[in-house]
Chain A
Amino acid sequence: MKNTLKEANKIVSNALAAEKKRELQRNKQKKKICLIELQAKELLNIFGIKMPEMKLTATTEEAQKEAKSMGFPVALKVVSHDIIHKSDTGGVETGIKDIKSLKVSYENIISNVKTNLPKAVIKGILVEKMAPVSTELIIGALKDPQFGPVVMFGLGGIFVEAISDVSFRLAPINEKEALEMIKETKAFSLLNGFRNQQTLDIYTVAKSILSVSKIITKIEHVEEIDLNPVLVYPNGIVVVDAKIIIV
């Protein structure tokens, strides 16, 4: 546990230091920054939370090669420290089935970002293996100025804010509280064999809520966490998108 925290803290402080450097170079201060995917993946991995296979690429050819080796379908995501809401700027393409359409998607992203956010520095394009479709959840966390760290669980995907089927606890939480959080939501019925479907892996979800609770309470500088969507299967979960805000 001690080593785990040390490693995790290192990732976050390195990211912060790199951001400071960029700020100096550009003579501009940003208060909150978002870890890029690879950093988020590394951080979550320390706590046993899985993200899909992903590779950062610099050219279309490189992306095609990586996609081929990890297998289609894949998603492409722009990687930039200047973009927090990637899909809003046209920086995400999903469900890419072959090499030909990958090229089109790749060029789309570059031109979308150049049009929408011309000043954004693009670090590259991420090729990510698409996880199979399943029930989408959200696991989140934040630091409240009065009560300190808070964790959230609920139904995920693009309707999170519209449906708001979520439960909250002050962190840190224990195993029992993590399970209670799941059971309090309507999402629970979807996990628990809804209409004779297979029961989904509630325990790994609960363990992941616990891990997020650990990250928000134990890792300095982490302010907000959004794991959304979290795809849950009969055995295991995959976090498709992770937004980890540090200050």
Chain B
Amino acid sequence: MKNKDNIESFFNPGIVTVVGATETPGSLAAGILKNLINMGFKGRIYPVNPKYKKVYNIPCYPTILKIPKKAELNIIAVPSRFVPEILKQQGQMGIKNTVIISAGFKEIGDEGITLEEDIKDICIKNGIRVLGPNCLGTIDNYANFTTSFLPWERVRRPKAGGLTILSQSGAIAIAILDLAAQEGIGLAKMANYGNRMDIGESDFIHHLIDDEQTKVIGLYMESVDNGQRFLDAAAKCSKTKPIIAMKVGKGQAGAKAAHSHTGAIAGNYEIYKAAFKKAGIIEAVTLESFIDGAKVLSMLKPPKGNRILIVTNGGGFGVIAADCCSESDLNTPGTSDELKKKLTSKLSKYYVVNNPIDLTGSATDNDYKIAINTSLIECDEYDAAIVISLMAPYCMTDRVVDHVIDGARFSGKPIVVCTLGGEYTMRIKRMFEERGLPAYPSPERAVRAMKILIERGRLEGAL
């Protein structure tokens, strides 16, 4: 077993102190403690506050200097002016890691900049690694650990899974988390670094290379902590784990006064795009495609080839999907004569057995089973499928979920689902997602997800 590194302590500390502990509703520390207790964190918690003997029934200590055993991580949620003193005490106690939740530093201007420089000095002198300040910190969905103060009644906690979110912005991190829960995406970890005084995305990506729970990384960037370290870590990590990233602040001009045309054209964003390519990172240009991409990468493995089948029970949606595929350079070859013959012998003669296979409004859920199994298993002429299942016709029941999922499992080929409609349909969509197939509420989004999956396949060298 490898030694626990610093970063690991930010996700799963054996002992954690919460400075500023209180039960006062609405305060940051109360939120953090409540979350830790309610999530079922198994490590030891030491609340610290001279005002209380107990907080949420846990013994509370007047200062860090009085805690009975050395903590691995110190969470600071007190007004910024008290932070330097707490860090000095932490240094005295030899606690090497801290999350500074408190705001009131660099982000507020001159006064805060000075304060942030002060605490940086203290941390360097005492060898303390810092997450934040001005951040939500971390979530570890397996260790049931968090430094976030946001109530789980407002933000749904995703089930345990493989996605780890790294975000410079706390608001974006939480929104993605909430959406992940809604879209059935399983979460491994989350980290938000706020002012990024010390630890940033490069440290986290480097750490996640060997993290067992993390299978996919979703990265939201405004800037980079250190270009070269970022490239090294991301290039290494993306060899085994997909990274999907969104870069905002695209309009920023290049950093230098340009003497050349090249310098004049090369904005900040173009260079990030080039950096993403170099590091094997998949770029998402919108928040929607970021979530859609994180979902497909979390749920499916890339196909072995790029021949895509479309199955639908609504002709129009099949055409839209086919159009989107051709615009996205996805390959949708027609069905072979052999496959046509097989399908015709098993299905109603009114169905169109081309690509898209149009099962029409008469389709039963069993027709999906026949269409998918015959095309993906019996005839090995497609590598992946986009299955559009519209739930309005009477013969379509939730059994279609079983059939499509069986088809994907038995064939070993990825299937992206598109199902669009109101409440009944959304229930079906959730059923797909709970059982591990990504479903999207429009053909455009389903195709885009497939494109992201194929892009990942290319990066893995399979295509």
Contacts and interface: CB of A to CB of B under 8 A. Distances in A.
Interface of A: 32, 34, 84, 138, 140-142, 144-148, 150, 152, 154, 160-161, 164, 166, 168-170, 224-226, 228, 243, 245
Contacts of B51: none
Contacts of A141: 262
A245 B260 contact: yes
A245 B258 CA distance: 10
Contact of B263 (A142, A154, A166): A142
B171 interface: no
B265 interface: yes
B278 A245 contact: no
A147 B254 CA distance: 12
3 smallest beta-carbon distances between A and B, as pairs:
A140-B262, A146-B227, A226-B260
Contact of B266 (A84, A142, A245): A142
B108 interface: no
How would you classify the secondary structure of chain B's contact residues: helix, strand, loop or mixed? helix
A84 B228 CA distance: 31
Interface stretch (B33-41, B237-245, B267-275): B267-275
B256 interface: yes
Interface string B263-304: 111100011111101100000000000000000000000000
B255 A243 contact: no
A225 B262 contact: yes
Contacts of A34: 259
Given A142-B256, A168-B271, A170-B274, A147 B231 contact: yes
Contact of A169 (B226, B262, B274): B274
B261 interface: yes
B224 interface: yes
A51 B275 CA distance: 31
Nearest to B264: A161
A224 B255 contact: no
How would you classify the secondary structure of chain A's contact residues: helix, strand, loop or mixed? strand
A138 B262 contact: yes
Contacts of B265: 140, 152, 154, 160-161, 164, 166
Given A170-B231, A170-B278, A145 B255 contact: yes
Contacts of A142: 254, 256, 258, 260, 262-263, 266
B275 A170 contact: yes
A47 to B, nearest CB: 17
A169 B255 CA distance: 17
A160 B260 CA distance: 11
A32 B255 contact: no
A32 B260 CA distance: 11
B260 A146 contact: no
Nearest to A166: B265
Given A150-B274, A168-B274, A228-B261, 7 more contacts: A140-B262, A140-B265, A142-B258, A146-B275, A147-B272, A168-B270, A168-B271
B265 to A, nearest CB: 6
Nearest to B279: A170
A148 B259 contact: no
A168 B266 contact: yes
B158 to A, nearest CB: 32
Max count, chain A CB within 10 A of own CB: residue among B258, B260, B271, B278:
B260
Interface residues of B, number: 25
A144 B258 CA distance: 11
Interface string B208-241: 0000000000000000101110010000000000
A224 B264 CA distance: 11
Nearest to A245: B259
A148 B261 contact: no
A231 B226 CA distance: 38
Contacts of B263: 142, 224
A140 B274 CA distance: 14
Max count, chain B CB within 10 A of own CB: residue among A140, A144, A245:
A144
B262 A226 contact: yes
A98 B270 CA distance: 45
Contacts of B224: 146-147
Nearest to B278: A170
A169 B278 contact: yes
Nearest to B274: A168
A15 to B, nearest CB: 15
Contacts of A154: 265
A140 B263 CA distance: 9
10 contacts: A138-B261, A142-B258, A144-B227, A146-B224, A147-B231, A152-B262, A170-B277, A225-B260, A226-B261, A243-B260
A228 B259 CA distance: 13
Contacts of A226: 260-262
A138 B261 CA distance: 9
Contacts of A245: 259-260
A148 B260 contact: no
B266 A145 contact: no
Max count, chain A CB within 10 A of own CB: residue among B224, B264, B265, B273:
B265
Interface in B419-437: none
A32 B224 CA distance: 27
Contacts of A32: 259
A235 B227 CA distance: 39
B227 A160 contact: no
A94 to B, nearest CB: 18
Nearest to B224: A146
A224 B260 contact: yes
A141 B255 CA distance: 14
Contacts of B261: 138, 140, 160-161, 226, 228
A147 B262 contact: no
A145 B258 CA distance: 13
B268 to A, nearest CB: 9
